């Protein structure tokens, strides 16, 4: 693409018709909220309708654990105890992922930044359009997270509240046994919430000062939350589909 043409492509707003071709807008979002607030579900809905790359730090961590990489043991130990992975490790993982530059129409970053240091690093390196904050009470977090299940065979996520399997404790797709994640226990949830309230929530003020934050009520249904997010971001609302599950 020539520099002259590239200069005409908008950074935000609706798709533009350029020389008879449809040019999609670029969107770069961060999605934040406590575990169980529905970040994963909302990110996937935005991804599928706006061709965004969903970069989930939690998914990257789980890949390391499943692949038995050098980082796996360290990540597994910290996550099981409900602690955050070290700032430098997370920042390096995110930097490497974004450096792949496979996000032609943008990305939605889920699970980063978690601390002020990470937020400052990110703002120095990337321009973002908005920070989507899903606010949810602690009691709802406990209810949702303790209801999460994962297929031990194919890794598909279920939730006993919103996305029950057709047959109890059995994956609808591969028939594998559903299990709770090691870190989905009351002590680990309590520790993660404490870390979140003390370290992550305060960085919202940094983003608010830059007028980047939109906030939505995470206690509502996933479809209502998605519609509210799109209205605030001035994105088309009528393409939103009813999701089947609620994730972190």
124 Cβ contact partners less than 8 Å away, ≥ 6 residues apart:
none
Residues with active-site annotation: 39, 114, 148, 181, 192
Question: Residue 171: left if φ>0, alpha if ψ -120 to 50, beta else—which one?
Answer: beta
**What residues pair up with 132 in beta bridges, in sequence order?**
31, 214
What 160-164 contacts at long range (C-beta under 8 Å, 24+ apart), as own/partner pairs, is 161/246, 162/222, 162/244, 162/245, 162/246, 163/244, 163/245, 163/246
Q: CA-to-CA distance for 153 and 173, rounded, in angstroms?
A: 10
Q: CA-to-CA distance for 29 and 10, rounded, in angstroms?
A: 16
Q: CA-to-CA distance for 42 and 38, rounded, in angstroms?
A: 6
């Amino acid at each position: 693409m020539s520099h002259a043409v590239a200069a005409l492509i908008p950074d935000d707003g609706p798709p533009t018709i350029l020389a008879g071709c449809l040019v999609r807008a670029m969107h770069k979002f961060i999605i934040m909220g406590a575990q169980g607030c529905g970040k994963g579900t909302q990110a996937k809905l935005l991804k599928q309708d706006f061709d965004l790359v969903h970069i989930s730090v939690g998914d990257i961590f789980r890949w390391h654990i499943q692949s038995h990489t050098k980082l796996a043991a360290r990540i597994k130990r910290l996550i099981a105890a409900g602690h955050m992975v070290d700032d430098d490790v997370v920042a390096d993982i995110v930097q490497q992922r974004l450096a792949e530059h496979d996000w032609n129409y943008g990305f939605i970053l889920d699970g980063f930044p978690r601390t002020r240091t990470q937020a400052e690093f990110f703002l120095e390196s990337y321009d973002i359009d908005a920070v989507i904050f899903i606010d949810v009470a602690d009691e709802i977090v406990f209810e949702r997270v303790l209801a999460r299940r994962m297929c031990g065979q194919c890794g598909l996520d279920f939730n006993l509240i919103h996305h029950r399997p057709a047959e109890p404790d059995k994956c609808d797709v591969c028939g594998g046994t559903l299990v709770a994640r090691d870190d989905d226990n009351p002590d680990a949830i309590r520790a993660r919430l404490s870390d979140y309230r003390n370290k992550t929530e305060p960085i919202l003020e940094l983003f608010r000062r830059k007028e980047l934050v939109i906030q939505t009520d995470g206690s509502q249904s996933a479809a209502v939350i998605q519609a509210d997010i799109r209205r605030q971001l001035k994105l088309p609302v009528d393409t939103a589909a009813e999701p089947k599950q609620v994730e972190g």
